[in-house]
Structure 1
Amino acid sequence: MQRNSKSTAAALKRGPIVLVGMMGVGKSTVGRRLAARLGLAFVDADEEIEKAAGMTVSEIFERFGEAHFRDGERRVIARLMDGAPKVIATGGGAFMQADTRAVILEQATAVWLDADIDILVDRVSRREGRPLLKNKDPRVVLTELAAVRNPVYALAPIHVKSIAAPHEVAVERILEQLPAWQ
């Protein structure tokens, strides 16, 4: 589906589009593709945190703990909320923080990328370096996290289910819902 600049501009009145959801759902991959389709910049919040801290997310968790990481994450996401249209992929826990969630809901268009646990388990098993999964059963952790996080993610005005299909399918689903939300 080709989009014209008028509908894209209408969809982006509220500044950034922020992707939220569980680890492994595809926020970074979908975000890059969505940004390319809309002709916007893409920013991965975790990459920005790593640049600011001079260490990886895993290293921050190990050395300073999750609370320290979340504080840095909050500051980075607040900085990214500058009103400029862009696509931002957040870490899975970012939207769980009340201050971060409030900034996103107030200053951006939040999109919840959702997926079934089986899909998430398959995707996270392909990549190392997820601090919340270190030395744990991914299925158990993801199931527990989803039970707590999904009701909060549901506060995002746009909800897109990611399925076992190319990420372009999720991009199309987001594009279909952006104009309807405005």
Structure 2
Amino acid sequence: MLVGMMGCGKTVLGRWLGRRSGLPIYDLDRMVSRREHRSISALFEKKGEAYFRRREAEALRQALALPPGIVSTGGGTFVFEENRRLLLERGFVVYLEAPLDLLEARLRESRGRPLLDSMVDRRQALQELLEKRAPFYRMAHLTVRVAGQGEEELGESVWRAYCEQIEGAE
């Protein structure tokens, strides 16, 4: 279960872990977008954030009912208590912690980010979101700092931590 801010690398790491493990990948944003037949940005614009969050929670419950796999959450998923409880109870939750400068650099040219796209000062909006969400993210089973790590190095460190968790549970 991968949690963290937009731009921290959940989707990329999810794909890497899927290749490494052979497990299916459940990307909640992609699941919502497919079910609604529109992009997340369009969904926010047409139906609002509250509607999106309800669909996101449904996608999470759906993903958790499927065969075990890698769950890549949206940036806000883990902030909501019921989602957080489900993720913590049903899986090994990894927070991909990225500093503001890295997030800003990764998201600088990115569009389709409804919580940032309408902001004049994207950095300020990103910082406020990070400050609001970080206490929730830190409730994850494992925090991994992504700055300074390549995809392979990050993937291997998360994979090892997951395997150690599984071995310790047996």
| Contact 1:119/1:163 (<8 A) preserved | yes
Counterparts of 1:181 and 1:139, CA distance in 2: 36
In 1, the alpha carbon distance for the partners of 2:141 and 2:64 equals 17
1:176 aligns with 2:160: yes
Return the match for 1:154 from 125, 138, 150: 138
Residue 121 (structure 2) pairs with residue 122 (structure 1) = no
Q: Per the alignment, in what secondary structure is the counterpart of residue 88 of structure 1?
A: strand
**SS in structure 1 of the partner of residue 65 of structure 2:** coil
TM-score, structure 1 as length reference = 0.86
Amino acid aligned to 2:74: G
Calculate percent identity across the aligned residue pairs. Answer: 35
Q: Would the aligned equivalents of 1:45 and 1:90 in 2 still touch at CA under 8 Å?
A: yes
Question: CA RMSD for the aligned pairs?
Answer: 1.3
2:41 partner amino acid: S
Task: Tell me the SS of whatever aligns to 2:133.
Answer: helix
Structure 2 counterpart of 1:100? 83
TM-score (norm 2): 0.92
User: Would you say how many aligned residue pairs link Structure 1 and Structure 2?
Assistant: 165
Question: More helix per residue: 1 or 2?
Answer: 2
Query: Secondary structure of 1:109's partner?
Result: coil
1:1-182 to 2 correspondence within 5 Å? 18-82=1-65, 84-136=67-119, 137-182=121-166
Deviation at 1:83, TM superposition (A): 6.0
Give 1:135 deviation, angstroms: 2.7
Query: Could you list the runs of 5+ residues in structure 1 that have no partner in the other structure?
Result: 1-17
- 3-state DSSP class of the match of 2:71? strand
Unaligned runs of 5+ in 2: none
